[in-house]
Structure 1
């Protein structure tokens, strides 16, 4: 029986050694799998891929630079140039319009001043003509009035002379009657005339 126990123990030892070997093999496989998994996670960090990445980067940069230099930059430069030309043209038109407006304002001011001067001149001339016409009419009316006054004075003098002549005749006749009644003798014309001459 001791021999049977030794065989069993030996078999158990072989089984344990085999199990330990399988466990070691599994651990090594797991570590290698982890290394493979870790190395395949970020290819851009692996040096063996850098050459291709640099080549593609250069190709993309070259294409982008070519597009910028031949397409986008000329278009942008053309747009900026056209915009600058448009702005410059607008500014020039604005300055021209401003200068034209200022010139028109100056012309309008000059025309207004000339119109005011002309209107004042016309008003002065009209006033002078009116004053001259009024003076002429006044002189004519004064002349007519003086003529009428002269005529009236002449008529008054004539009427007065006529009245005085009649008064003298009436007074002579009255005096002759009174003298005749008082003296009983008729008064002579020479005596009456002499008496009236002394009275007058």
Structure 2
């Protein structure tokens, strides 16, 4: 009996284990299907997700703080300096234009003053020359008028002398015709003198 007990073969347990394993597998997959299949909503995965988020945030922060922000700042500063330089250049050009405009206005005023002075000098010179010419012409006219008056007086005197001679000759001819006697020149002169004294 002992030999039969010792020689009794052991019952293999592989079938039971094999049959038990599939049951547990089905139970595990059922549990997974019941959880929804989204590990990010399970509390046991939140620690790793938060760690990854912190790492990504730190990386993004370093990139933004060390790379993107300095570049943007350099670009913005460059644009600001360019705009400021352009504004300063425009103001300088405007100031130079104003100075040139003032200088041109001063030069124009000076030229106008000089032109007015030259014009007034020319008018004064022309007036002086005209007055001098007028005075010279008046002197010439006065001299010519005096000469003409002298000639007229001489011609008048000679004409009057001729009239007296002609009158005495005519009177002598009339007396000769009327009386038949010729009167002498001395008698005619005395008669004329007596008539002039009576008149």
Structure 1 residue 190 and structure 2 residue 186: aligned?
Answer: yes
- Give the whole-Å Cα distance in 2 for the aligned partners of 1:43 and 1:32: 15
Match in the other structure for 1:52? 48
Q: What is the TM-score with the length of structure 2 in the denominator? A: 0.76
Match in the other structure for 1:166? 162
Structure 1 residue 101 and structure 2 residue 97: aligned?
Answer: yes
The aligned runs of 1:22-171 (5 Å cut-off) are: 33-39=29-35, 41-171=37-167
- Give the whole-Å Cα distance in 2 for the aligned partners of 1:64 and 1:189: 160
- Give the whole-Å Cα distance in 2 for the aligned partners of 1:188 and 1:65: 162
Cα–Cα, structure 1 residues 88 and 149, in superposed 2: closer, same or farther, change >3 Å? same
Q: What is the TM-score with the length of structure 1 in the denominator? A: 0.75
CA positional deviation for 1:185 = 4.4
Q: Unaligned 5+ residue runs, structure 2? A: 1-22
Equivalences, count: 174
Cα–Cα, structure 1 residues 171 and 134, in superposed 2: closer, same or farther, change >3 Å? same
Q: What root-mean-square deviation, in Å, do the aligned CA atoms of Structure 1 and Structure 2 show?
A: 2.4
- Give the whole-Å Cα distance in 2 for the aligned partners of 1:72 and 1:100: 41
- Give the whole-Å Cα distance in 2 for the aligned partners of 1:112 and 1:197: 87
CA positional deviation for 1:181 = 4.4
Cα–Cα, structure 1 residues 173 and 121, in superposed 2: closer, same or farther, change >3 Å? same
- Give the whole-Å Cα distance in 2 for the aligned partners of 1:147 and 1:53: 135
CA positional deviation for 1:60 = 1.0
CA positional deviation for 1:92 = 0.8
Cα–Cα, structure 1 residues 196 and 31, in superposed 2: closer, same or farther, change >3 Å? farther
CA positional deviation for 1:33 = 4.0
